[in-house]
Structure formats: C-alpha cells, structure tokens
Amino acid sequence: MKHEPQNVAVLNAPASGGRWAAGEDPVKRQQILEGAKRVFMKMGFDAASMNDVTREAGVSKGTLYVYFANKEDLFSAMMDSERAHFVANIRTVLADDADMATSLYDCGMVFVTHITSDKTMNAMRTIIGVRERMPSLCQGFFKGPENLRTVLRDFLQRQAALGRVEIEDFDMAARQFLEMAGGGYFKLRLFGDLETPPSKEEIDYVVRGALRVFVKAYGTEQKCPD
C-alpha cells in the first residue's frame, strides 16, 4: 500500500504540540552544529572552545550544554551530520530508475568534487589531528553503518538484479570505482601537493575514464554518457 507523505511541519513539530523540550528542538540543534562547523574548520579541534561555539552559533552556554555534553560530543555530532548530508546527496544521485552509467558518472563527479574541496580537506586534517585521542570517531566517520561505499554497493546490487551488471563481489566493485574516480586527488590535496581543488574539466576527464573501465569490466549492455 502506498502511503501519502506527511506534512514536514507536522513531522518536525513537538510531540506535545507546544514548545520543544530542552535539547530536542532540531532547528536549534542544527543552528549549533552550523556554528560549531565554522569554528572547528577555522580553528581546529584543539584550539576551539565551547565559548567560541556559543558566540558563533548565537546561543547561550547553558543552551549549548543542554544539547551537547562537551566539545568531543559536539565535534562527533558535527561530523556525523556532515557525513549524513553527503551520503543523502549520493543516494539521490544513484536513483534506481535512471540510466546506470549516467548515475555512476554523476556519483563520481559529486564524490570527487566533495573529497577535494577545501571544506573536506579542513575536516580531514582536523580528524587526523584527534585520531590518537578519539579513535572511535575516526573509525566511525570512515566506516560507519552507512557511507558512500555502502550506498554505492547497494546501488550496484540493485543494478545487477536488473541485469545491467555482472558482479561477484559488490563491495570490491564499489571500492574499485571510487578509487579510479578519485584519481589520486584526495591524497594530493590532503598532503599539500595540490593546493587547490582540480577543475571541473579535470574531474570530468578522470571520472569518464573510470566509468569506461568499470562498464567494460562489469556492464552487460551499458554505454558511457556522452
């Protein structure tokens, strides 16, 4: 049975129908996370303080601690939010009813543009800086229950069910496509060998090359997008 979508305002309303209980307002929580992101990306984890976040987010210290117990909790929540947003974008790109090769191309473009951006580079360097003290955060960010690789793997499994690809190891195939599409840009950016993100034309060239190899290896009748 098909269910009609509910009104977003109703879904996001307080259960009581009145004011949000302390620490439960999603708009206020997002306001804090956005402020924290600006602070952490600018100052790094160690230099940033909860006071810096209160000023940037425009909330009181009391409000901040209602939502997040400490700086580690806030940082972890911020990274989870960023990952979830990126994964949601990739899931949208990998639509079931779209042409497979076009979907993979769009996925590659979004992926490489994201991982080579200044914002992602700052985030990765911040995470690396706290790895010794917060190993579970780093492991969760890269592995997580759902990430780019798992979304791509699930997409490929659905495509195989439709007869569009023949793949024995879906996890490996997803990794192969991402490695080829990445073109080594991530490491070059992370370690400073490439000071600015590659151009859209450069990314397009590498992603199309990765797609040609991938479709040649696994596709049954797909053609690469023009």
Decide if pLDDT at 138 tops 90: no
Closest CA to 116 of 223, 199, 212: 199
- pLDDT for 112 equals 94
Looking at residue 8, what is its pLDDT? 41
Q: What are the pLDDT digits (tens) for 86-111?
A: 889 999 999 766 789 999 999 999 99
* 0.95 exceeded by pTM: no
Report the candidate in 92, 73, 91 with the shortest Cα–Cα distance to residue 81: 73
Residue ranges and CATH numbers for the domains of the chain are 21-68 (1.10.10.60), 79-218 (1.10.357.10)
Question: Rounded to the nearest 5 degrees, what angle is found at the Cα of 14, between the Cα atoms of 10 and 18?
Answer: 110
Q: How confident is the model at residue 11 (pLDDT cuts 50, 70, 90)?
A: very low
Q: What pLDDT does residue 18 have?
A: 54
The span from the CA of 188 to the CA of 39, in Å, is 25
Residue 78 CA: distances (Å) to CA of 30, 35, 56, 112, 197:
9, 10, 14, 21, 23
Alpha-carbon span 83 to 75, nearest angstrom: 12
Please give the Cα distance from 104 to 173 (Å, whole number).
12
* H/E segment holding residue 24: none
Tens-digit pLDDT profile for residues 151-198: 999 999 999 999 999 999 999 999 999 999 998 898 888 888 888 999
Q: Which of 193, 38, 35, 32 has its CA nearest to residue 123?
A: 38
Torsion sign, CA atoms 130, 134, 135, 141: negative
Contacts of 73 (CB under 8 A, 6+ apart): none
Tokens of 194: 């490439």
